[in-house]
Amino acid sequence: MADTQLLTAPVSELRQLLSDRAISSVELTRAFLRQIELCNPLLNAVVTICEDHALEQAALADKQLATGEIAPLTGVPLLHKDIFCTHGIRTTCGSRMLAEFTPAYDATVVSKLQSAGAVTLGKCNMDEFAMGSSNETSFFGTVKNPWDLDCVPGGSSGGSAAAVAAGMAPLATGTDTGGSIRQPASLCGITGLKPTYGRVSRLGIIAFASSLDQAGPMARTAEDCALALTAMAGVDGGDSTSADKPVPNFHGALNTDIQGLRIGLPKQFFNDDLDDQVRARVLEALAELEKAGATLVEIDLPHSHYAIATYYVIAPAEASANLARYDGVRFGYRCDDPQNLEDLYLRSRSEGFGEEVQRRILVGTYALSAGFYDAYFNKAQQVRRVITEDFHRAFEQVDVIAGPSAPGVAFPFGAKQQDPIAMYMEDIYTLAVNLAGLPGLSTPAGFINGMPVGLQLIGRPFDEQTILNAAHRLQTDTDWHQSHPSLGDLAS
């Protein structure tokens, strides 16, 4: 098998090659490590490469493959977003604050994927503390979009998305607080799934906004996402908000029969604000699903235009508390030569956090302050319930809600950096899904001037299966997801 073919093969195929012993996990791991070595100088998608650790895990996987002790992902290499704590491996969260932080524990997601046999290649770059939609806020520099090196990969899981798109790994983990899996998946032309809030444990994931954060897989196909989600999901005694729901075998239950599937198109998503070319691509993809037996219905999400305002009160408010622990006292960045306690706090935090993180801490602190709590935080919580009810009402009529994953394709570096509001609009179609705690995925839906566009599919709570089925059917009938940037051009 040619290198490019191997590097762009989905996990489902790699598993087969591994279990057939057509390739060893060590060989596969070396191939991806080599690709990381070649592409990373240009893309900056990976901040930590764990070659020795990966090869050790791969060798172990090969032993298991030899004895037939095969777990769902045995021998499959992957990358973790650098927000997942990894025992003994530096975990930076894209921040100077944690640039030298090495946890003594694994996130539940990391240990679950490890038990499923996966091999950890390294850690992916990301927006600092997952705050950003372009990967421009990372302390470790921007990640470049493999489809156009002058453009952003999206964010905050931009490193994960770019890495998968560039064949540096067949699978990566991401987290999604307001669109951080789906938007970069869309901008990099891959498939990314944000599960229902509570489906995947948050233990060991560095918190941004606790009531919104959710981890999920980013891969080439919906089928791979189903495989990975099955391994990642499940109740965790260490996370009180993880849901005690049975985890289906999403992969085993994949079904391409979508006859009669009712897909709702919120009129608020397809209004005049939507870019015409994005609209065209999204509708083309939906037409494919219609051809496969789905029916398209216009629906109403009357309060969806409040989502951004609501999100940008709740998420920063929670973040302002979650990030208070980075005070220079116990771990993380500490300023040089603090003069007193206040100086230690002020300089450690001012020097350790970047601008966007500081902006959100300020916004969140303000929203929770005496005299403003009712007007901001409390009101936002109320609106959040209203937005959630909109979705629940819509799901009485339809099985899936569809729309764009992002308002446009990848944009050039710096285009939105000076205008936080323009940047926040990047997540206009994804935020509401987090507020309502619903599962959502982005699947490739064609191109605009050679740049990928994503279709977003939103499901009922804990019904990841239905949106995975629909995406899988789309990927059976189309080949947008099989396109990839020219890997040769990416090698430096």
Partner 1 sequence: MSWEIVMGLEVHLQLATQSKIFSGSSTQFGASPNEQADAVDLGMPGMLPVLNEEAVRYAVKFGLGIGARIGERSVFDRKNYFYPDLPKGYQVSQFFAPIVSEGVFEVPLEDGTLFPIRITRAHLEEDAGKSVHDIFTHETGIDLNRAGTPLLEIVTEPDFRSADQAVAYLKTLHSLVTYLGISDGNMAEGSMRCDINISLREKGSEKLGTRTEIKNVNSFRFVERAIYSEYERQADILESGGTITQETRLYDAENNVTRSMRSKEVANDYRYFPEPDLLPIVIDEAYIEAVRATLPELPGAKRQRFIESYGLNDYDAALLVPHHDMADYFEAVVKACNAAKPAANWILGDLSGALNRNEVSISESPITAERLAGLITRIEDGTLSSKLAKQVFDAMWDGEGDADDIIAARGLKQVNDSGALEAMVDEVIANSPDQVAQYRAADEAKRKKLSGFFVGQIMKASQGQANPQILNALLLKKLDDQS
- The SS3 assignment for 347 reads helix
**Closest to partner 1 by CB, 2 or 370:** 370
Over the Cα atoms of the chain, what is R_g? 21
Q: What is the smallest separation between the CB atom of 67 and partner 1, expressed in angstroms?
A: 34
Question: Starting at the edge strand that comes first in sequence, how are the strands of the sheet with 451-458 ordered?
Answer: 46-49, 119-124, 77-81, 171-175, 215-219, 191-194, 440-448, 451-458, 400-404, 262-266, 295-299
Active site residue 138: no
**Closest to partner 1 by CB, 85 or 400:** 85
Comparing CA positions, the residue from 440, 458, 460 lying closest to residue 396 is 460
Active site residue 180: yes
**Beta carbons within 8 Å of 437's beta carbon, 6+ residues apart:** 196, 197, 198, 388, 461
Q: What is the smallest separation between the CB atom of 138 and partner 1, expressed in angstroms?
A: 16
Tell me the CA end-to-end span of the chain in Å, nearest whole number: 23
Which residue out of 25, 81, 201, 304 is catalytically annotated? 81
**Closest to partner 1 by CB, 215 or 467:** 215
Strands 171-175 and 215-219: antiparallel
**Closest to partner 1 by CB, 131 or 368:** 368
Which residue out of 24, 134, 180, 201 is catalytically annotated? 180
Query: Which tokens hold the place of 447?
Result: 């191109």
Which residue out of 12, 133, 134, 156 is catalytically annotated? 156
**Closest to partner 1 by CB, 255 or 350:** 350
Cα torsion at 41, 43, 45, 48 (round to 10°)? 0
Are 160 and 62 a contacting pair, CB within 8 Å?
no
Active site residue 156: yes
Strands 119-124 and 400-404: unpaired
**Closest to partner 1 by CB, 320 or 456:** 320
- Interface residues with partner 1 (CB under 8 A) are 84-85, 91, 93, 98, 101, 103-105, 107, 202-207, 209-211, 237-241, 317-318, 320-321, 323-325, 327, 329-331, 341, 345, 365, 368-370, 373, 377
Query: Which tokens hold the place of 244?
Result: 């005690």
Which burial class, exposed, middle or buried, applies to 236 when counting CB atoms under 10 A from its CB (0-12, 13-18, 19+)?
buried
Residue with tokens 């059917």: 473
Catalytic positions: 81, 156, 180
